[in-house]
A = this chain, B = another copy of it.
């Protein structure tokens, strides 16, 4: 068992299976694209244990409050860790997190996106520690996200 998987187990976390997209939706791209020592992580959503998109759906600041948005961002992190484990074979191959782009489906006037995306950042630092897990981040308000998901995150990580 890899050190990162041990840490995930210690934290009582489980990673979801591959995304089951909504019926009829074709997603002709890779969840993780590895080029040399860089892994580009596609935009991910919160995921339920059965692989489907996890609710609640809607806009943060209207349909979800900040705590629910934070939880959605944390689920999005688990979704990304699942994709990275499937793509890399072993999460210990991650040498450094680089860039995190956190997108919040923002109700008009809602401007507390950083507190929402902290659900993602806190998870990454819990799992990888502050050295490997450190990352540069933006947390911004999008007009619409696919299928009404409240949070979407894309990222770039570097491999050993």
Contacts and interface: CB of A to CB of B under 8 A. Distances in A.
A39 to B, nearest CB: 8
Contact of A100 (B29, B110, B158): B29
Interface residues of A, number: 57
Contacts of A111: 144-148
Given A29-B100, A43-B137, A136-B33, A112 B146 contact: yes
A152 B137 contact: no
A103 interface: yes
Contacts of A158: 35-36
A140 B44 CA distance: 11
B42 A98 contact: no
